[in-house]
């Protein structure tokens, strides 16, 4: 992790519980971020949601934005994230987080608004809301957990389930001749003009988690800087519904998920030399006269 600017301290609720175990002269190197509450995650043991929740909370702490952040947690395993984060939170209907985030952001453009969505939510029932919030260039941050399965309802086939993957509703394996292919969200959204930044990361190792945090931080910073819509896709695991140990799930992720969902930056308008998504969109449409209207103004 990047060295925090301020000394690491325990959140208040932990001071009472474990503070006495820290001797005088000892310094804290790593601790729960303050933007996380003391609520016990409802995630299963070994579920990578918790890692990503922590990364988001650390980014909120490091950017000092807890007081102006509003998080949206729609239906899925992370729906109870309203209990986990100390910033203001809204629970949303399945798939609708980008629309809800749009509403919040339009009312309070100075708020930092993030949606935290799973694959069924973002890439199936909420695809329209996702694509349109992205193409509108809503200045929001979306954290997308892709674990190729519906977790909360008990392991059904997701839009991102891999070909031949066995789930409760694809008991003979996902038959692409009948139900089609997985949706590759990072690739899909990277084609939209409103999008400033899309990166796909994972969380199976220290190195990958550090990279995931960098991406999440950038996605938040982009919003603060008004650069445009940013999404980080986190290739994640669901040990319970994959029917594996947490360790085995990481192995399966490395063997099957990562070749299908390659990690990397899919769009980054700043890295491409533009100030923001709008400028990049103007350049892409440089041969379209009507799209160039008002450019000078």
Partner 1 sequence: MARIIVDDVHCKGCGLCVDACPKGVLALDQERITPKGYHPAKLVDPDNCIGCSSCFITCPDVAITVVM
Partner 2 sequence: MADNTQAQERVLMKGNEVLAEAAMRAGCRFFFGYPITPQTELAAYMAKKLPLIGGTFLQAESEIAAINMVYGAAAAGARVMTSSSSPGVSLKGEGVSYMAGADVPGVIVNVERGGPGLGGIQPSQSDYFQATRALGHGDFYMPVLAPSTVQEMADLIYLAFDLADEYRTPAMILADGMIGQMMEPVTLPPERDPKTLPAKPWATSGHKGERAHNVVNSLYLSPEKLEQTNFERFERYAEIKEKHQRQELMFCDDAEIVVVAFGAASRIARTAVRDARAKGIKVGLLRPITLWPFPTKAIDQVIANGAKRFLSVELNMGQMVEDVRLAANGRAEVSFYGRTGGVLPTPEEVLVQIEKLAEDMERGE
Min CB(103)–partner 2 separation in Å: 2
| Residue 163 burial class via C-beta count within 10 angstroms: exposed 0-12, middle 13-18, buried 19 and up | middle
Phi, psi (rounded to 5 degrees) for 280: -65, -40
For partner 2, the binding residue among 62, 129, 204, 279 (CB under 8 A) is: 129
Residue 247 binding partner 1, by CB under 8 A:
yes
93 binds, among partner 2, partner 1, none (CB under 5 to 8 A by kind): partner 2
69 binds, among partner 2, partner 1, none (CB under 5 to 8 A by kind): partner 2
Contacts of 151 (CB under 8 A, 6+ apart): 47, 76, 77, 118, 238, 240, 241
Residue 92 binding partner 2, by CB under 8 A:
yes
Q: Which stretch binds partner 1 (CB under 8 A): 61-69, 138-146, 170-178, 204-212?
A: 204-212
Residue 264 CB neighbours (<10 A): 10
For partner 2, the binding residue among 87, 236, 253, 263 (CB under 8 A) is: 87
Phi, psi (rounded to 5 degrees) for 144: -115, 115
Cβ proximity to partner 1, 53 vs 190, nearer residue: 53
For partner 1, the binding residue among 2, 12, 38, 108 (CB under 8 A) is: 38
Residue 163 binding partner 1, by CB under 8 A:
no
Contacts of 30 (CB under 8 A, 6+ apart): 1, 8
Rounded to 10 deg, the angle between the 206-224 and 49-63 helix axes is 50
By three-state DSSP, how is residue 122 classified? Answer: helix
Q: Which stretch binds partner 2 (CB under 8 A): 24-32, 50-58, 95-103, 260-268?
A: 95-103
Residue 90 binding partner 2, by CB under 8 A:
yes
Instruction: Please tell me the number of Cα atoms within 13 Å of 269 on its side-chain side.
Output: 29
Residue 113 CB neighbours (<10 A): 29
Strand pairing class (229-235; 264-268): unpaired
Residues at the site binding partner 2, with contacts judged by CB under 8 A: 66-70, 72, 79-80, 82-83, 85-93, 96, 98-108, 111-112, 128-129, 131-132
Q: Which residues bind partner 1 (CB under 8 A)?
A: 1, 10, 14, 17-18, 21-22, 26-33, 36, 38, 40-41, 43-51, 53-54, 205-206, 209-210, 245-247
């Amino acid at each position: 992790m990047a060295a925090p600017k301020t000394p690491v301290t325990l959140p208040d609720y932990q001071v009472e519980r474990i503070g006495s175990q820290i001797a005088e002269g000892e310094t804290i190197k790593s601790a729960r971020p303050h933007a996380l509450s003391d609520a016990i995650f409802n995630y299963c043991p070994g579920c990578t949601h918790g890692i990503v929740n922590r990364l988001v909370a650390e980014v909120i702490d490091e950017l000092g934005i807890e007081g102006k952040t509003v998080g949206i947690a729609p239906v899925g395993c992370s729906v109870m994230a309203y209990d986990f984060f100390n910033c203001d939170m809204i629970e949303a209907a399945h798939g609708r987080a980008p629309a809800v985030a749009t509403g919040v952001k339009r009312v309070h453009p100075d708020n930092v608004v993030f949606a935290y969505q799973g694959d069924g939510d973002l890439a199936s029932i909420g695809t329209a809301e996702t694509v349109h919030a992205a193409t509108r260039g809503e200045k929001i941050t979306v954290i997308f957990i892709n674990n190729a399965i519906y977790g909360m309802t008990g392991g059904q086939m997701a839009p991102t389930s891999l070909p031949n993957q066995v789930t409760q509703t694809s008991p003979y394996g996902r038959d692409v001749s009948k139900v089609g292919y997985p949706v590759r969200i990072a690739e899909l959204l990277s084609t939209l003009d409103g999008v400033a930044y899309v990166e796909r990361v994972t969380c199976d190792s220290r190195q990958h988690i550090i990279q995931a945090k960098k991406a999440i931080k950038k996605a938040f910073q982009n919003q603060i800087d008004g650069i445009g819509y940013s999404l980080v896709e986190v290739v994640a695991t669901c040990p319970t519904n994959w029917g594996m140990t947490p360790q085995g799930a990481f192995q399966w992720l490395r063997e099957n998920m990562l070749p299908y969902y390659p990690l990397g930056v899919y769009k980054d308008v700043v890295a491409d030399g533009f100030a923001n998504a709008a400028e990049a969109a103007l350049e892409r449409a440089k041969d379209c006269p009507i799209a160039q209207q008002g450019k000078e103004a």
